[in-house]
Structure 1
């Protein structure tokens, strides 16, 4: 039997720390401790060559269950729709108006943090309602 592997989800972006801090708020994640020998991430960053400063950032699930999220600076901007996206599970087990209320409340919270509401996909008899959003750099995700 194959062993289960841990995964890291990596985002290409222009501003790694900004995007990472948004996702910390979305998911309840935290910034991991600075590398050994550095009191802060700023201290670590200043130790890097200028071209590498601010080039990466990460956040982790404080319970250790969810995957680590890694954000890396890339020179090109986002051009097309994501082929992979995160579904943030805020309405699990809820249906109808109760589900819509949970999705809308979370959407309102995330818009205040810089997220963008794209569209509501209403229940269609097969799938429950979900709300499509974008993070602070336009990466699509769903409130599900």
Structure 2
């Protein structure tokens, strides 16, 4: 039996990254676990330092329940190297290689508008991008 996974991104600004990744993935804010009505109520149960805030984290989920949950957590240290694990955003649809590349380019433009940066293009195959805090990800066509 396969297990479910969550992905966690360390960050400096959880709200900024949450906004970007909700746009990029079509994710929504994950509701707090039962029986809590709000994330603030859930967060208050932990014995955390006074300067820790619920605003220092975000929890996102696929509204269809199929994709992994994404946790975005503020950390004190900056990003210093290339990610050892990255997200691939797969653009759906069939067609010729030119049609697939056009969809990849359109998705790349949408993500640049949302705050992403193009790092490198592999023409006809995929685009390497970075989110607003420099976390690398790729945009490519979905597998057939």
TM-score (norm 2): 0.82
Which residues in structure 2 correspond to 1:47-126 (within 5 Å)?
Answer: 47=44, 50-53=50-53, 54-90=55-91, 93-123=94-124
Alignment partner, residue 9 of structure 2: 11
Mapped to 2, the partners of 1:46 and 1:63 lie a distance apart of 25
How many angstroms does 1:93 deviate by?
4.2
Higher strand share: 2
Q: How many residues align?
A: 135
- Which 5+ residue runs of structure 2 have no aligned equivalent? none
User: Which whole-Å deviations, capped at 9, do the CAs of 1:17-53 have from their partners, x for residues lacking one?
Assistant: 2212211111111002245444x54x54995754211
Aligned to 1:126: none
Q: Distance in 2 between matches of 1:19 and 1:101?
A: 26
Query: What runs of 5+ residues in structure 1 fail to find an aligned partner?
Result: 124-128
Q: TM-score, normalised by structure 1?
A: 0.82
Does 2:129 correspond to 1:138? no
SS in 2 for 1:52: coil
Tell me how large the CA RMSD over aligned residues is: 2.1
CA distance in 2, matches of 1:134, 1:88: 12
